[in-house]
A = this chain, B = another copy of it.
Amino acid sequence: MQNLLLDFILQYIHLDENEKNAIASLDIFHTIKKGHILLKQGEFSNQGYFVLKGCVRSFYIIEGEEKTTAFYTEMEGITPQCVIDNKPSEYYISCVEDSILLISTPDMEDEMFQKFPKFESLCRILSEKLVSKQQIDFDNFKISSPEERYLNLVDKRPDLIQRVPQHQIASFLGIKPQSLSRIKARIIEKNK
């Protein structure tokens, strides 16, 4: 697990032994069971998550219905809005599968930034990349129909279709489960 993390970081910046050890010494690896809720709507939290293995989902509950808005899988991270703005969370975060997560707090991060400014560079670079990626994802969502969004998901994140229940996929695509079933049937019909 340590190595997965180091390899990921080394794609972006170089680390000396000292810095590698600093990471290794952080006791931040956590094994979380499927279904466990990491963050609840209305709750305060100062935890950020980085997925080393497994899958994490964020969702709202609106009029009793779950609205899934994001999935985070291997080498993806989330810092919930409530951590950044210091206000109660508007959404839930839970584990879709048994997962290994890296859990951090702003205090820990600030400490690392103090000791190793390089880590702040890393976080800046990763954040900037993420801003740009998110914008593209949002753009593609806007300019696509539900059917196109589904086909795009099958193309870009085929693993998700397998590892996540369909009604969560539907919600993630901004439609109802019944519509997703219909879309899938329509696609099969077309390809005949």
Does A117 touch B at the CB level, under 8 Å?
Answer: yes
The chain B residue with its CB closest to the CB of A119 is B124
Interface size on A, residues (CB 8 A): 38
Chain B residues with CB under 8 A of A79:
128, 131-132
Does A184 touch B at the CB level, under 8 Å?
Answer: no
Does A105 touch B at the CB level, under 8 Å?
Answer: no
Q: Are A139 and B85 in contact (CB under 8 A)?
A: no
Q: Are B84 and A139 in contact (CB under 8 A)?
A: no
Interface centre among A67, A69, A117, A142 (most CB of B within 10 A): A142
Contacting A81 at CB < 8 Å: which of B58, B62, B117, B135? B135
Does A90 touch B at the CB level, under 8 Å?
Answer: yes
The answer to whether residues A129 and B84 also contact, given A117-B117, A123-B124, A141-B138 and a CB cut-off of 8 A, is yes
9 residue pairs from A and B, CB less than 8 Å apart: A67-B142, A69-B143, A79-B128, A84-B128, A120-B121, A134-B135, A138-B141, A141-B142, A141-B174
Q: A interface vs B, CB < 8 Å?
A: 58, 60, 62, 67, 69-70, 79-81, 84-85, 90-91, 113, 117, 120-121, 123-124, 127-139, 141-143, 171-172, 174
Kindly list 20 other residue pairs between chains A and B, CB separation below 8 angstroms, not including A60-B143, A79-B132, A142-B171: A58-B139, A62-B143, A67-B143, A69-B139, A69-B142, A69-B143, A70-B135, A79-B128, A80-B132, A81-B136, A84-B128, A85-B132, A91-B139, A117-B117, A117-B120, A120-B121, A127-B131, A134-B138, A138-B138, A142-B174
